Amino acid sequence: MRDAIAAELLKFRDHRATWGLVWIWPLGLIVIWLLAIGVDLANGGGGEGKGAASAAGWIADSVGFWNVPAHPIGRYLIGAFVAVVFAGEYGWNTWKLVVPHRARSSLIAAKYAVALALLAIGFTLAALLFSGFGWLEDVVTGDPIPAGITAAALFNAHAVGALAAAAPVLLTAAYVSLAAILTRSTVGALVIGLVITTLEQLFRSFAPMLEPFAPGLVGTLYQALPGYHLANLGHWLEAGRALAIPFPSGPFSMSPAASLAIAAAWIAALTALTFRSFRRQDIN
């Protein structure tokens, strides 16, 4: 298993897909924030900024990058990276050189471990840079930083943000990895991931409007599909209460524990299908 992980790290540590889809987050933030600070200074700096908010508001703004993995654009880029990691071997025609020498389950497990680890590092670096540059911008431009901000409060806010981002990242990786194994195509896996993620978001948004046309079906799908449950978990972590969606028949809400169980079941089922499909696949 260690050899498989080491091989995956060697393969993707400096891969173009890693630079373009993972390291782009911290590197892009550096460029954007430096430009933003430069523009602010050129316009005179100071004035009304996030420093005018309370300590809680300032902290919430400073950890806002953790919303990116749950955003459709963030999930599209996550899916693109996972597609390269899992389907690249088919395009490179290297599976036939690797599969005879290692257990197939360990090969897939190593891909999950490396892909998720690199994504976690990339997002964590970007989130820390987002906080650091937010503080630096206030210092450079003269915006006041509210009293009461502590390292412990910032750490807790980052931990909550990371937990809220975990489910969307894992579900996106589960969708795309299964698609990659079934289609044996990076492009095919990416397209399927984009379509499923988009439909998931659209159904979560438009289900209340569709309910009058098929109340039983829409309600059942809304409870069973993972879209609401991802949003519910994130809302509970950030606001401390379940997310209530206004349906024509009445507010729809489920407990965070139920949402966690359903989201975990989807992730586990898709991941298990990926392992099973690869174990049964004919590699030529």
164-182, pLDDT tens digit by residue? 999 999 999 999 999 999 9
Query: pLDDT band at residue 249, thresholds of 50, 70 and 90?
Result: confident
Mean pLDDT of the chain: 89
What is the C-alpha separation between 102 and 278, in angstroms, rounded? 13
What pLDDT, in 10s, does the model give residues 116-156? 999 999 999 999 999 988 888 778 777 777 887 888 989 99
Q: Output the CA–CA distances (angstroms, integers) from residue 195 to 75, 136, 172, in the order listed.
A: 11, 39, 11
Is the separation of the CB atoms in 172 and 193 below 8 Å? yes
What pLDDT, in 10s, does the model give residues 45-103? 554 444 456 888 888 888 989 999 999 999 999 999 999 999 998 888 888 888 877 88
Report, as an integer, the average pLDDT of 240-249: 90
Is the separation of the CB atoms in 50 and 61 below 8 Å? yes
Report, as an integer, the average pLDDT of 228-235: 93
pLDDT higher at 36 or 79: 79
Residue 271: predicted pLDDT: 97
What residue type is assigned to position 34 of the chain? Answer: L
Strand runs labelled E in the chain: 245-247, 250-252
Report, as an integer, the average pLDDT of 10-23: 91
Residue 43: predicted pLDDT: 74
Report, as an integer, the average pLDDT of 222-244: 92
Q: 19-28, 70-79, 129-138, 228-237: lowest mean pLDDT where?
A: 129-138
Residue 51: predicted pLDDT: 43
Query: pLDDT band at residue 238, thresholds of 50, 70 and 90?
Result: confident
Structure tokens at 250: 């009445």
Residue 260 reports pLDDT greater than 90? yes
Number of C-beta neighbours around residue 276 at 10 A: 14
Residue 13 reports pLDDT greater than 90? no
pLDDT higher at 53 or 256: 256
Residue 50: predicted pLDDT: 47
Residue 209, class by beta-carbon neighbours within 10 Å (0-12 exposed, 13-18 middle, 19+ buried)?
Answer: exposed
Residue 40 reports pLDDT greater than 80? no
Report, as an integer, the average pLDDT of 201-219: 90
- How many helices (H) and strands (E) in the chain? 12, 2
Q: 18-27, 127-136, 262-271: lowest mean pLDDT where?
A: 127-136
